[in-house]
Amino acid sequence: MEFLGPDVLSGPDLYGATLGIIGFGRIGQAVARRAQGFHMRVIYSDPNPDQTTKTLPAEIVPLPVLLSQSDFITMHTFLSKDTFHLMDREQFEMMKPTAILVNTSRGPVINPEALIWALKEKKIAGAALDVTEPEPIPSDSPLLQFENLIITPHIASSSFQTRRRMAIMAAENVVAGLQGRPLPYCANPEVYRAAK
C-alpha cells in the first residue's frame, strides 16, 4: 500500500490570500464581499468600473498587476470582442505558478489551447471551469486529462433558490419591457445611454 502522506487531498488556503476578480459587476462584487470572511486581499480589473464599488474593500488594478499578484483569479466578465480569449498565453505567463484560475463567466474568455499549455507547462497550479469553449466540452478534449483541472457542466447557478430567483428576474424584465420601462436586470445597460 502506498503511503500518501499528511498532505493528501490538501490545497492552498484562501485565508489571507490575494483574490483577483476579472469583471467587477454585480457577481464580481458579491464574490468580493464573500472573500472578506476569509480575510483575503481583493484586487479587481474592470474596463468600466461601477462607482458603487468604492464602498467595497477592493482595489482596482491593471490586468497585468492582477495576474502577477493573485493567488486565486476568478472570472466574472461578459463575453465581447474585447474579452474573447482574454486569457491567452501571454496572460498565463504573467500568473504565479502557484495560482489557481476559476472561470464561471463564459468559456471563450479563455483560449483553451493556451490553458492546455499553461497546465502542461505548470505555468499555473490549476484551474476550475464551469464553462468551456466549446460547450459542452468534447469527450476527447485534452483538458480532460489534467489532474489539476476541475470541470463542471455550467451549473454554477444550480440551486433551487437561485433558479427560482432567475425565473423571477426574467419575469420582471418581461413585465417592464411590455410596460415600456427600462429592464431592471438589463445585461447591457449601455443601450439606454446610447438611446438618449
Q: Is 106 a catalytic residue?
A: yes
Residue among 89, 93, 113, 135 flagged as catalytic: 135
Q: Is 2 a catalytic residue?
A: no
C-alpha cell recorded at residue 138: 468534447
Residue among 106, 163, 164, 193 flagged as catalytic: 106
Residue among 41, 59, 154, 172 flagged as catalytic: 154
Catalytic site positions: 106, 135, 154
